[in-house]
Amino acid sequence: MIVPGYRDHPTEPWDPVAPVDPAEAEDFLRRCYVENPRLGPVEPRLAIVRAQIAATGCYVHTTDELSYGAKMAWRNASRCIGRLYWRSLMVLDRRRARTADEIFSLLVHHLHTAGTGSIRPVISVFAAAQPGQPCARVWNEQLIRYAGYRDEDGRTTGDARQVGFTAAMRGFGWQGKGEQFDVLPLAIETPAEGVRLYELPERAIREVPIAHPEFPWFAELGLRWHAVPAIANMRLTVGGVHYPLAPFNGWYMGTEIGARNLADADRYDLLPVVAARMGLDTSRESTLWRDRALVELNRAVLWSFERDGVKMTDHHTESQRFLAHIRNEEKAGREVPADWTWIVPPMSGGITPVFHRYYPEADLRPAFYLDDEAAALARDGMRGCPYGK
């Protein structure tokens, strides 16, 4: 998996009233300046930061500090297998944006930047939280997500994970088509305007139709998936400063779509459909019909992205690259925290090299965190959202 937080992520308590911890700020700055000698001596900078914290309870990162802090947060993401590329992250400083219209325009630019040509890792960092003051945020868990509709008989069309959020959006005026792959609107909240809804333009949504290299009937299923997995509801924490709106993306590992999004029983639940079209014996588990259907579903995803020239990686290649990342970090004298249950792919885990070893676990900062409120909204849908656009 290339981006941290794609699946359910543990929440981390955060007191939005508390001032920045000077010790955390100093720890980050010392590491940042040691790893980037071009920034010059750190002591003069520390004096400025201490004065800012004493006066306001917070401090302002320079563009260089923010950029490197975001990269460090990716490097520290213990649940991300794709950290070999952490230095390549494009950091877009959007801290001056205030209105919902401005934020939406910049989020569209983010998707265009990330998804044009070869997919590239991008993060857009908006205004930092100030002690005791409300801040802007996006309530969607990803910038692009498909709606989920549940009828009176309990049948679901679309992404079952998004049923609650979709119902909330419809309750406040959004009208989806009721189809399998309707892109949800963005719900953007600002202190001055409350929550407003925005439809993403087609030019911001790059999608791949899913077909199969051997089974012509696969295209008849009408499957597709978007190319840019942009996480929107995780808070970036750098040196004690919190950025509640900092959407980021990498590129997909095939199993995230083929073994999770399209296959999970509480998502699109397509394994029974694929197995039936393959003519497999589904009368008992010992026929391994789920495994066979899963393999072909993942083949279809990888083949389709490659056919359309959209960047994607497979779980075997990425497992090897993660071990290369560990070797690089060890040479730099840094430990690599990793959560084994996330690093091991959700398919064929035992035949990947990341399966056969243990990893240290640590909560290192800078980091990405999912807040309790964001987690509840992703799970249950929004409440009290006025339909603004």
Q: Which helix (H) or strand (E) is 236 found in, with range?
A: strand 234-238
Phi then psi for residue 242, to 5 deg, are: -105, 135
385 is in an annotated binding site: no
Task: State the Cα–Cα distance between residues 381 and 268, nearest whole angstrom.
Answer: 19
Please say whether the beta carbons of 275 and 289 come within 8 A: yes
pLDDT score of 268: 98
Once rounded to an integer, what is the mean pLDDT over residues 294-308? 98
CA distances 309 to 36, 110, 369, Å, are 35, 20, 32
For residue 142, pLDDT over 50 is answered with: yes
For residue 10, pLDDT over 70 is answered with: no
What class, spelled out in words, does domain 22-145+183-380 have in CATH?
alpha beta
Task: State the Cα–Cα distance between residues 174 and 294, nearest whole angstrom.
Answer: 34
**According to the 3-state scheme, what is the secondary structure of 92-113?**
EECCCCCCHHHHHHHHHHHHHH
Token digits of residue 214? 């051997």
Q: What is the pLDDT of residues 108-138, one digit of tens each?
A: 999 999 998 889 999 999 999 999 899 999 9
pLDDT score of 7: 45
For residue 366, say if its preceding peptide bond is cis, omega within 30 degrees of 0.
yes
Q: What is the pLDDT of residues 32-68, one digit of tens each?
A: 999 999 999 999 999 999 999 999 999 999 999 999 9
Residue 165: strand, helix, or coil: helix
CA distances 340 to 336, 346, 361, Å, are 12, 11, 9
Catalytically annotated residues: 80, 83, 251, 256
Per the DSSP assignment, residues forming a β-bridge with 89 are none
Buried b / exposed e along 256-285 (16+ C-beta atoms within 10 A): bbbbbbbbbeebbebbeebbebeebeeeee
Q: What percent of the chain has pLDDT over 90?
A: 89
For residue 6, pLDDT over 50 is answered with: no
For residue 156, pLDDT over 80 is answered with: yes
Once rounded to an integer, what is the mean pLDDT over residues 264-269? 98
Work out the angle at residue 165's Cα, subtended by the Cα atoms of residues 188 and 208, and round it to the nearest 5 degrees.
85
Most distant CA pair in the chain, distance: 71
Question: pTM, whole model, 2 decimals?
Answer: 0.94
Using alpha carbons, select from 305, 284, 281, 294 the residue that is nearest to residue 349. Answer: 294
